[in-house]
Structure 1
């Protein structure tokens, strides 16, 4: 039977918040949960790993999963088949026991309509035979208890299939004894006893639980009921080392209770629990449980487990868990924008001196990685079969992390062609990583081979959503490698692919919109890169690799990219290219897209800093093409008046102005949600228009030109006042944390209060706050 899947609620951020957090970003930074951002490449699995799913390495206490194993239920169904005959199909037993609500069964039994209610169910057909009346009565009795009780005591079910009804009459305790005593075989006695035992557990009668287990479940038996019953018995004793020991026996003997075992396991009693173990296999199981929630380096435990049980399935799982730790510690700081691993032991050190902490941790983690590498290589030749394939993949992954690519290729080649699909997937992951590091990424053949590797993993991810984390990590590394080798376009598309695969944690691509398509390029691309991106968007004969990368990542509206190209040109003071680009776009583009009409809606030639709130008008029709055309015209005029208008314009396209969206797509960088996804953009913003965006250098340049050229005292007064404003805000926006002396007003402000004190501009803008700077 397939694993049962339950819906789970993903933690997501609405794309509505993506960029509209400008004013908030300086107050409190955006972040996502560490488990969302961490990188993980290794996900090879062996048969039997499924029950261990909650114990994959995670930033959280347990790995998030929406699947549970039904193997125990399948075993129970086969036990019924064995009892009633081969004509009974296990899937029909499953339908009745685990997918049919109790009220329906009880009602059909009382109305003698079971045959018509389940006309083709072989389990019901067998139960209706006269010789099987006792088994039918048992099923009805069990369903009656399920219906009468809370969901926690549903019969043989960990899920929710009934309609718990506390008002429905429960059988009295004498009914349990009577049913057990009247049962003719051990099969029914144990099942009635299990009903009684579980009922007693939830009723708080621990002594009865222990008595029932000791009476009916201690003898040799391979029924699935035995470990289920042992789980409840273990929870009824107060000897915690013994409780741990019994829980460890439950852990290895059934699937359903593995998660519950770790929830109830008593930690810090390892030695006392190990003292109760009867053999190496039991000691190995106890050490496994102890390791499954340990977020720290745990190689010594792996070595002990190997000594006790070298072929242990759990050893393989713990090796994979150790690799995932190393991936988090080494890769997450390198490839994510938050820069810290998901589990940080001395968290304050990352804030006190990030560079030092990062370097120290890297040195420590690489040393530990090499210890793990040496151990795995030392045991590799002693393994065989699936475990050898798994170990080959694990060693190759460790070698990749240590940048030992050629040796990693050797172990990758050791993975047999008969390895299971999960290990084959890991092999393709490894081959992709090797290619990204060693091959010519501009070569079409190499790119198409990468597509083959990527696609093979994508196909498996359709069945195992847990692989989205691995695809997110792989594409993040691929993006970085393409960028380092000079291909910003493909790097950007791979970066978007990475976020798409990140399980909804902070991906905005489920509902792509304007900035989703340009965020990476806004930070990394040149105008030439945008030309190549546009050419790729328009390309009809895309290669398989290009088709794959463009799917879901490239904007259908080429004007998204043109707008970015024009914006980059404007940042670079290339007004001619900016004009040419914007002029090729629809005139109403900025009326219909993104947030332009909400933020580009004021006169850019009136300095915002001098306006009172009640004076501001938000009815200005802003067109980027027209705006650039006027700047070009004003520069050609080169008069005092034209330079003053240019100065106002450049003031307003800074982060202090009313038209900052001419230069940037979000107001300021460093702590906003969009920065978390695409990286802090502060360093780039500081360079916009020769440092105008924060430091107002272009604005001040033109104010100085206007002051020098003007013959009009009002113009001179305005220029002097605005030079002071540029100096003041530029001084405090300089991102320098030092012991500089306090800001001092310059000659321009003194002239404003002396030379130009009779002007109308002075009378309009004089205020006590300004005058305080010259006192």
Structure 2
């Protein structure tokens, strides 16, 4: 509402977040298709993500490094990779001598290849200069640059003087790299074009050199072409060289430099990776030019990961896809409608990708099993459940790794759960072991619950939501880095402070009807003693929270003003919960906390910010049960035709209803969290909680039954207070006048204050300016 009037205070709890937090990006993204198990780790930096590309480990532990492969080949495969790695990674210049125990060096000394030994010594001598040497005080510039230049020129001379072709290329590469750190782009061009341009066998040295040549190229189209060739052939340079690819350059201009289909495919690959929207047309081009290409399969993986974000992130959470612009400040009702409309459009795009896969000759693809898995998943996305299950069964019979088999199971569990009729959906026995195997994969557990909820099974949905955050550990340190779930409700009105959930209780508190929670409780009662592994998992949380759920049911009935049903539910709550949650006994002196949910004031006799003015009778130990019981008692008394003090009891009832609102001391009768501002919610009694309508109704009845002028005036004053709260809640949130002007505005619009001013003028000033007068006015009831 009016920002100048209030400071929003959100109580800290396990399910509410600090002021200003709003989930975005990878926290929101739903992904059930695991890039890590597909075998395309060398492309891992470019896995689809809401984050920007960032360097990742691209080699497995036992992968052979490209430079090590070259050296082993140079040594006629007579030395180990470990010995090569030791020389390249660990040895210093002084370690290269005849007394060494290193297998590679001993071999080179044995065959008297002193040129190679001298090259290794020279390369070690250059290592310090093959990087940026930054000195903020500029003390070493005079030393570093001349030394590097000297070594650069020496490398060129050694390259020209040696007859060993392999070493010639290595010396030239060293010179190119030092020229780059010397910021001599022209020398890079000259060296590459003279030595490497005509090299027939394009090994890793060629593509490392081409990387620097790319950095030196001014022609944007040619630079893009070079970047694409480096990207494909030098995995360790992919992250850096991808940043040199300018997506604004027309791809047709880049393709002019390609001489082979492979080179064209490379261009389309990098162009597609740099696209964050639909890339199917580029994928088709890569398939046309080089079908048996791991890059093609990787593009398919990225596209599937895109589609599942576009479809499942909004479908399950009602948030926009993780890469979309956050629309928190837009009209949320329309936003959710638009987001879900887009889901159907993106399912249609999934069908187009599926059509493409069906058109592909899988015998020409480097990984047919992976493509079939994508196909099965796309069948699920497009809701062709029968085809998905059929293909998954076929894949299940293939030889798969444990991780690949689990991937198939995860998709199968989703398909089986979604492929049920409304009103008949259950947690199938076939799905249960898959859930147990993936019990820490939060978004998977949530998606299954969401599917069940969509099919009308809110009980099993709530049970899955409840265990989703239980004993949390990362599902997989490489997958679902943001293993957390946030979701919205379709009922959101669009102007709430916090319009999302990440906890089962907050969600069913806001969205479930009391009858749904009662069914849930009964289900827990009936099954909490089961000893099978899945039941123990499923009921692990809620079997301990039955009193809390009865509290919730009663609270929901309070919101509906069904007091007898509320009382019956509160009656089933044990004293431990009342003491732990709503009394000061277990609070260690923290009852002063602003917005505390402790029953420390009697809602019938005491009002917040108002001096005591009603003698307290019928003292009771306060909790939700006793307050509800007393409220029913006082309503019955007030409505009894024979009751002489109808005005008195109506006034007490009105006080209680007032105190059960945002502005009262017993707001916890309706809510579990309190804020200092009128933040709208999806609660069914939102208007009542902020507008005080029930309190106003009963104050009006007290006024109607009042016998004295002064008590009538007091009733009217309280009616006016309720009306003021309503006007404040409904007021234009852009109201920008001063606080004093705003208060005058509220008073002027308040017909009950005007009534008090006109018809009870002699009491108006006293009642509206000093609450101390309330005691005298209440005593004047008779």
Kindly report which structure 2 residues correspond to 1:414-563, keeping only aligned pairs within 5 A, or say none.
414-415=394-395, 417-419=398-400, 423-439=404-420, 447-454=428-435, 471-495=441-465, 503-504=481-482, 516=503, 518-525=505-512, 526=514, 527-529=517-519, 531-532=521-522, 535=525, 539-549=528-538, 561=549, 563=551
Q: Does 1:578 align with 2:565?
A: no
Give yes or no for contact 1:757–1:763 (8 Å, CA) kept in 2. no
Q: Does 1:395 align with 2:393?
A: no
2:695 to 696, 699, 702: 699
Give yes or no for contact 1:327–1:401 (8 Å, CA) kept in 2. yes
For residue 245 of structure 1, report the CA deviation from its aligned partner. 2.0
2:182 to 203, 210, 226: 203
Find the aligned partners of 1:622 and 1:128 in 2 and give their Cα distance. 92
**Higher Rg of the two aligned structures:** 2
For residue 736 of structure 1, report the CA deviation from its aligned partner. 11
Kindly report which structure 2 residues correspond to 1:20-419, keeping only aligned pairs within 5 A, or say none.
30-43=21-34, 49-62=40-53, 66-69=56-59, 74-84=65-75, 88-91=79-82, 93-94=84-85, 97-98=88-89, 100=90, 105=92, 109=95, 131=112, 138-139=119-120, 141-147=122-128, 150=131, 170=147, 172-173=150-151, 174-177=153-156, 180=159, 185-217=164-196, 218-221=198-201, 223-267=203-247, 268-339=249-320, 342-343=323-324, 353-354=334-335, 357-358=338-339, 361-362=342-343, 364-379=345-360, 382-383=362-363, 387-415=367-395, 417-419=398-400
DSSP 3-state at the match of 1:291: helix
Q: Which consecutive residues of structure 1, in runs of 5 or more, have no partner in the other structure?
A: 1-13, 154-164, 459-467, 613-620, 673-680, 768-775
Find the aligned partners of 1:367 and 1:65 in 2 and give their Cα distance. 33
Q: Relative CO higher for 1 or 2, CA cutoff 8 Å, sep ≥ 6?
A: 1
Give yes or no for contact 1:46–1:386 (8 Å, CA) kept in 2. no
Find the aligned partners of 2:426 and 2:629 in 1 and give their Cα distance. 45
Specify the alignment match of 1:730 in structure 2. Answer: 726
Q: Does 1:666 align with 2:644?
A: no
DSSP 3-state at the match of 2:664: coil
* Per-residue Cα deviation, 1:5-54 (whole angstroms, up to 9, x for no partner): xxxxxxxxx995866679x6xxxx75322343133333467865222223
Give yes or no for contact 2:129–2:178 (8 Å, CA) kept in 1. no
Find the aligned partners of 2:622 and 2:118 in 1 and give their Cα distance. 80
Q: Does 1:587 align with 2:579?
A: yes
Per the normalisation by structure 1, the TM-score is 0.74
Q: Does 1:645 align with 2:649?
A: no
Specify the alignment match of 2:497 in structure 1. Answer: none
Structure 1 residues 273 and 322: CA distance shift in structure 2, 3 A: same
Give yes or no for contact 1:386–1:419 (8 Å, CA) kept in 2. no
Decide which moves more: 302-311 or 39-48: 39-48
Specify the alignment match of 1:683 in structure 2. Answer: 682
Structure 1 residues 555 and 535: CA distance shift in structure 2, 3 A: closer
Find the aligned partners of 1:506 and 1:671 in 2 and give their Cα distance. 29
Find the aligned partners of 1:517 and 1:628 in 2 and give their Cα distance. 26
Structure 1 residues 693 and 342: CA distance shift in structure 2, 3 A: same
Find the aligned partners of 1:48 and 1:247 in 2 and give their Cα distance. 23
Find the aligned partners of 1:472 and 1:641 in 2 and give their Cα distance. 54
Decide which moves more: 518-527 or 564-573: 564-573
DSSP 3-state at the match of 1:334: helix
Find the aligned partners of 1:347 and 1:721 in 2 and give their Cα distance. 39
Find the aligned partners of 1:220 and 1:382 in 2 and give their Cα distance. 32
For residue 271 of structure 1, report the CA deviation from its aligned partner. 0.6
Structure 1 residues 48 and 393: CA distance shift in structure 2, 3 A: closer
Q: Which consecutive residues of structure 2, in runs of 5 or more, have no partner in the other structure?
A: 1-9, 135-139, 488-500, 612-620, 639-645, 734-744, 774-782
Find the aligned partners of 1:208 and 1:72 in 2 and give their Cα distance. 34
* Per-residue Cα deviation, 1:507-542 (whole angstroms, up to 9, x for no partner): 699xxxx99562233234434155257648x93534
Give yes or no for contact 1:569–1:578 (8 Å, CA) kept in 2. no
Structure 1 residues 243 and 21: CA distance shift in structure 2, 3 A: closer
Structure 1 residues 304 and 735: CA distance shift in structure 2, 3 A: farther
DSSP 3-state at the match of 2:176: helix
Find the aligned partners of 2:130 and 2:281 in 1 and give their Cα distance. 46
* Per-residue Cα deviation, 1:570-599 (whole angstroms, up to 9, x for no partner): 434313422541535362444447997622
Find the aligned partners of 1:209 and 1:387 in 2 and give their Cα distance. 39
Find the aligned partners of 1:535 and 1:114 in 2 and give their Cα distance. 78
For residue 272 of structure 1, report the CA deviation from its aligned partner. 1.4
Give yes or no for contact 2:426–2:452 (8 Å, CA) kept in 1. no
